[in-house]
């Protein structure tokens, strides 16, 4: 491995370089090598490879020379090479999007090549070879999915997508300013990248959430981990895929509503197909190659989209799904009935609604989500008259930016609600954990949020003919939400006379809406946000549990900047905590709150691990989150348990001794912490 980093390595000696700290991989290649190769595959993605070793591979490797390196003896790679040599693949320096059928097809062809590799040499050589030859966006799409799913790359941290493609996340004028600074050889520059829009738009009040880099990353990861086009022949079955699709979105939506309440806004309303779409969106960003991201005006009438679909087709698909919910079963392609009135039903519905290849009957139930996304995205040019590139809704890392995208997702969420609300509520007996009582719940510290300035590296935005890695310390910055540390102090009494393993679930239900009106208990249940989930062994007698906000198992830290990632790799630091970026960003654990305090009913539910836990690894796992760990779901309960099902009588919940409600308030006192300027 050749060290090409020319920035100061002095800082590295301070950061304990413990060799052997990183576990070597089962295939004998070090994690560090893999991380290094993959970081460099994405560094300056729009320009030639900067690492000599990878460059050499890109120039000398022949993907079809020795097909014994592929599990399928080269079937996938020959297919791709055929398309490539016949010049049928999309050229470089052109936009691409997964909503474009052909672009997606090409990206999947490359993905399949990666997944067929038997060893790291095959994987990295193909990465180097195709990085230099196929469309950059398609390469990125294929390689990111492959890294998430290949057995060889389970410990590789994906570089932050907003640094790999800074153009997508940074306003065009900021990119221009930065470019100029780069041309003038300036260093250590930070350019403010404010949110799109201005306060004349009420939706602007929650732009900090929609445009949060961590929310974009999380949303992207949900799709990376659960691609709708996934087939088990790629290697394994993705556990509870359809349910993941529902719940990950459901939590994002509920958190969005908590932010709306914090900002005195109405709760999100589902998109109506027969009413004007009120919310427009101006992304203010430009593709690296090609036109600006299109703007959608306010109050447009939703239209059929040529060569994509018709509004009534969406309605028909929804009707069929609502019918299935009303019947309590779906029909597979052979006409057999599959019961969905059980805990597993949500997974099947999720597959159907996601347009997943797991759907038991794609022919009948269709491709609701992919079609709806594509149609919403094309509303700016439904007759394809203006040759506009796709908008933000076509890119999963940008999708949350558009206010209308949330309304569409709310519409989809309401289908799931129809199903879940058709299931019987839990009885007191089902919820009880014999001999266990939660006697007290206190918050230590204050639930308080603030804004801070955050910067990301624009290195990938500059073209230059450097042959070496160089970081210029030119950044864009944006305000983002963060919160003060706090902890839960939970007292649990165990009267069983023996230790009991318990799952502790913490959920917060909004108490009042943005107008200060009380939210009915059962509505608050549907809007609950998950705060934490962990396992504890309860000793007989009284147990004092202290759980820090920083330990929350549903959150993930920010991926380090490109430069830090390179530094940490060179220093052989353990990067494990960054491996999964699928989760609510740590900073956003608390919704913003406001000056007077936003009230939540905080529920602590202590349930029996013997009944809840699927996989013992949940006990030792530090980071468990509902999106699974490498595709495995350790919790047996439905996501959101016990607030998932209808609660017709809230008294039930107050009578369960192993549950306890505490009222809390989340504050924000308009504090903003800017980065120190040099």
Contacts with ligand NAG, residue ranges (CB under 6 A): 192, 194, 367, 370-371, 374, 464-466
Specify the residue, 52 or 192, whose C-beta has the smaller distance to ligand NAG.
Answer: 192
- What's the closest the beta carbon of residue 201 comes to ligand NAG, in angstroms? 15
Q: Measured between alpha carbons, how far is 246 from 232 in angstroms, rounded to an integer?
A: 20
Specify the residue, 374 or 572, whose C-beta has the smaller distance to ligand NAG.
Answer: 374
Specify the residue, 58 or 394, whose C-beta has the smaller distance to ligand NAG.
Answer: 394
* C-alpha closest to that of 30 among 144, 153, 131: 153
Q: Measured between alpha carbons, how far is 631 from 669 in angstroms, rounded to an integer?
A: 40
Specify the residue, 107 or 535, whose C-beta has the smaller distance to ligand NAG.
Answer: 107
- What's the closest the beta carbon of residue 352 comes to ligand NAG, in angstroms? 13
First-to-last CA distance in the chain? 35
Specify the residue, 192 or 430, whose C-beta has the smaller distance to ligand NAG.
Answer: 192
Specify the residue, 376 or 506, whose C-beta has the smaller distance to ligand NAG.
Answer: 376
- Say which residue the tokens 């930016």 belong to: 401
* C-alpha closest to that of 546 among 618, 627, 443: 443
- What's the closest the beta carbon of residue 502 comes to ligand NAG, in angstroms? 44
| Cβ–Cβ under 8 Å, residues 538 and 436 | yes
- What's the closest the beta carbon of residue 332 comes to ligand NAG, in angstroms? 17
Mark out the alpha helices in 499-598 (DSSP H runs). Answer: 521-526, 562-570
Strand pairing category for 448-457 and 659-673? parallel
CA distances from 67 to 116, 186, 546 (A): 10, 48, 56
Torsion 420-425-428-429 (CA) sign: negative
Q: Measured between alpha carbons, how far is 247 from 238 in angstroms, rounded to an integer?
A: 15
Q: Measured between alpha carbons, how far is 659 from 492 in angstroms, rounded to an integer?
A: 10
Q: Measured between alpha carbons, how far is 186 from 473 in angstroms, rounded to an integer?
A: 9
Specify the residue, 255 or 455, whose C-beta has the smaller distance to ligand NAG.
Answer: 455
Continuous segment of H or E residues that includes residue 104 = helix 101-116
Specify the residue, 292 or 597, whose C-beta has the smaller distance to ligand NAG.
Answer: 292
Continuous segment of H or E residues that includes residue 327 = helix 311-327
- What's the closest the beta carbon of residue 370 comes to ligand NAG, in angstroms? 4
- What's the closest the beta carbon of residue 570 comes to ligand NAG, in angstroms? 23
- What's the closest the beta carbon of residue 190 comes to ligand NAG, in angstroms? 11
Q: Measured between alpha carbons, how far is 169 from 395 in angstroms, rounded to an integer?
A: 11
- What's the closest the beta carbon of residue 672 comes to ligand NAG, in angstroms? 9
Q: Measured between alpha carbons, how far is 266 from 478 in angstroms, rounded to an integer?
A: 26
Q: Measured between alpha carbons, how far is 476 from 192 in angstroms, rounded to an integer?
A: 6
Specify the residue, 318 or 612, whose C-beta has the smaller distance to ligand NAG.
Answer: 318
- What's the closest the beta carbon of residue 523 comes to ligand NAG, in angstroms? 33
């Amino acid at each position: 491995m050749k060290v090409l980093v020319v920035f100061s390595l002095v800082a590295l000696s301070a950061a304990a370089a413990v060799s052997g700290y990183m576990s070597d991989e089962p295939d004998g290649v070090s994690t560090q090598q893999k991380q290094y190769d993959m970081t460099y595959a994405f560094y300056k993605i729009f320009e030639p490879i900067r690492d000599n070793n990878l460059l050499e591979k890109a120039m000398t490797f022949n993907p079809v020379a020795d097909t014994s390196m592929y599990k399928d003896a080269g079937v996938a790679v020959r297919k791709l090479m055929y398309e490539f040599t016949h010049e049928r693949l999309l050229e470089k320096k052109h936009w691409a999007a997964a909503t474009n059928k052909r672009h997606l097809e090409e990206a999947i062809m490359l993905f399949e090549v990666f997944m067929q590799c038997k060893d790291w040499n095959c994987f990295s050589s193909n990465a180097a070879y195709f990085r230099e030859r196929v469309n950059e966006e398609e390469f990125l799409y294929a390689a990111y999915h492959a890294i998430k799913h290949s057995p060889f790359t389970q410990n590789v941290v994906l570089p932050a997508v907003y640094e790999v493609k800074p153009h997508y996340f940074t306003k065009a004028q900021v990119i221009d300013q930065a470019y100029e600074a780069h041309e003038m050889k300036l260093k250590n520059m930070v350019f403010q990248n404010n949110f799109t829009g201005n306060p004349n738009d009420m939706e602007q009040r929650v732009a900090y959430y929609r445009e949060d880099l961590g929310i974009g990353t999380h949303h992207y990861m949900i799709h990376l981990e659960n691609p709708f086009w996934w087939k088990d022949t790629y290697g394994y079955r993705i556990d509870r895929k359809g349910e993941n699709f529902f719940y990950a979105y459901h939590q994002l939506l509920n958190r969005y509503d908590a932010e709306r309440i914090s900002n005195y806004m109405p709760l999100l309303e589902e998109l109506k197909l027969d009413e004007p779409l009120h919310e427009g969106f101006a992304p203010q960003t430009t593709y690296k190659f090609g036109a600006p991201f299109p703007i959608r005006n306010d109050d447009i009438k939703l239209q059929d989209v040529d060569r994509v679909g018709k509004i009534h087709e969406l309605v028909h698909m929804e009707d069929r799904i609502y019918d299935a919910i009303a019947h309590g079963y779906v029909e597979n392609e052979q006409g057999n009935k599959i019961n969905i009135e059980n805990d597993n039903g949500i997974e099947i519905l999720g597959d159907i609604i996601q347009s997943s290849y797991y759907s038991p009957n794609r022919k009948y139930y269709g491709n609701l989500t992919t079609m709806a996304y594509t149609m919403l995205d094309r509303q700016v040019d439904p007759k394809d008259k203006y040759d506009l590139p796709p908008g933000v809704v076509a890119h999963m890392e940008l999708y949350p930016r558009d206010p209308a995208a949330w309304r569409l997702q709310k519409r989809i969420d309401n289908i799931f609600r129809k199903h879940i609300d058709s299931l019987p509520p839990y009885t007191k007996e089902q919820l009880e954990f014999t001999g266990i009582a939660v006697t007290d719940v206190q918050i230590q510290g204050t639930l308080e949020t603030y804004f801070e300035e955050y910067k990301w590296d624009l290195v990938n935005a500059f073209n230059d003919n450097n042959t070496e890695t160089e970081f210029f310390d030119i950044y864009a910055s944006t305000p983002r939400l963060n919160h003060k540390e706090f902890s839960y102090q939970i007292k649990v009494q165990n009267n069983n006379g023996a230790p009991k393993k318990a799952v502790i679930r913490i959920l917060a239900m909004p108490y009042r809406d943005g107008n200060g009106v009380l939210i009915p208990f059962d509505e608050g249940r549907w809007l609950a946000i998950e705060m934490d989930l962990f396992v504890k062994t309860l000793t007989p007698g009284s147990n004092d549990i202290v759980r820090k906000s920083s330990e929350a198992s549903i959150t993930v830290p920010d991926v380090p900047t490109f430069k830090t990632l390179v530094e940490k790799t060179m220093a052989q630091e353990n990067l494990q905590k960054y491996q999964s970026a699928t989760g609510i960003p740590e900073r956003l654990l608390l919704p913003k709150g406001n000056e007077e305090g936003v009230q939540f009913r905080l529920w602590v539910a202590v349930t029996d691990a013997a009944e809840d836990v699927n996989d013992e690894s949940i006990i030792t796992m530090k980071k468990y989150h509902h999106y699974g760990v490498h595709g495995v779901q350790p919790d047996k309960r439905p996501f959101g348990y016990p607030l998932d099902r209808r609660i017709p009588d809230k008294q039930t919940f107050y009578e369960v001794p192993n549950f306890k409600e505490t009222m809390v308030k989340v504050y924000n006192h308009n504090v903003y912490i800017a980065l120190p300027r040099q």
